[in-house]
Amino acid sequence: MTRLSVNINKIATLRNARGGNMPDVLKAAKDIESFGAEGITVHPRPDERHIRYADARALKPLLHTEFNIEGNPIPSFIDLVEEIRPAQVTLVPDAADAITSNAGWDTVRHRTFLTETCARFKAAGIRTSIFIDPKPEMAEAAAACGCDRVELYTEGYARLYPEGREAAIAPYLATAEAARNCGLGLNAGHDLNLENLEYFIRTIPWTDEVSIGHALICDALYLGLEQTIHEYLKRIKIF
């Protein structure tokens, strides 16, 4: 059954816009868990413009669900993850100045680096996922790197969904099947929302986890955080 992990970066963005501690990121994470989410995701970047490294450290002892830390495995990030030891680390190849993640890893070109990084995290007992574009060969090469899961970068699916959902999901289905054939677990994230999420899960029901932040927090402005979590869970828990 697919789990919902809520990315709380946008809550931290709002806090940082004014300074102080409003909204309280730690309280929000605990509330999100209490509302039914099955995981918390954070993506600390070097400039700490939203989630800070200190937030990640403070969250670990407070959470009761799965903690997923995602980011580019630069030395400071690797040190942070090894210190905290979350349930999962997701490797994302975003540049330091990226507004948001905008591509998956080329797991063929970066095989040596990813293999070494996966081995390091797995030695610490951390499940390791690699963020990839919807290309079957990227899933196959990710498996050769020694990761446990891949996370499909779903921006393209979300962008093309209004024009034709069957065509939009086709490369994701092919990549998900390739990942499954390689024995990998499957995550998905980026621009999934209340409109397109259910079809994705119905088509790829072996998805282990979806990580959703921006759209969910936007919906919460209108529906409230608790009701929004429930609405997303309805789109996921369909089997």
The tokens of 180 are what?
């499954």
Q: Which of 33, 43, 155, 209 is catalytic?
A: 43
Per this entry, what is the length of the chain?
A: 239
70 is catalytic: yes
Q: Which of 33, 50, 70, 209 is catalytic?
A: 70
Q: Which of 33, 50, 151, 190 is catalytic?
A: 190
110 is catalytic: no
DSSP label at residue 162: G
Which region, left, alpha or beta, applies to residue 55 given φ > 0 means left and ψ of -120 to 50 means alpha?
Answer: alpha
Q: Coil, strand or helix: which one is 130?
A: strand
Asked if 48 contacts 13 with a C-beta cutoff of 8 angstroms, the reply is no
151 is catalytic: no
Q: Cα-flanking dihedrals φ and ψ of residue 136, to 5°? A: -55, -35
Residue written as token pair 């996370």: 151
Cα(144)–Cα(140) distance, integer angstroms: 7
Catalytic residues: 43, 70, 190
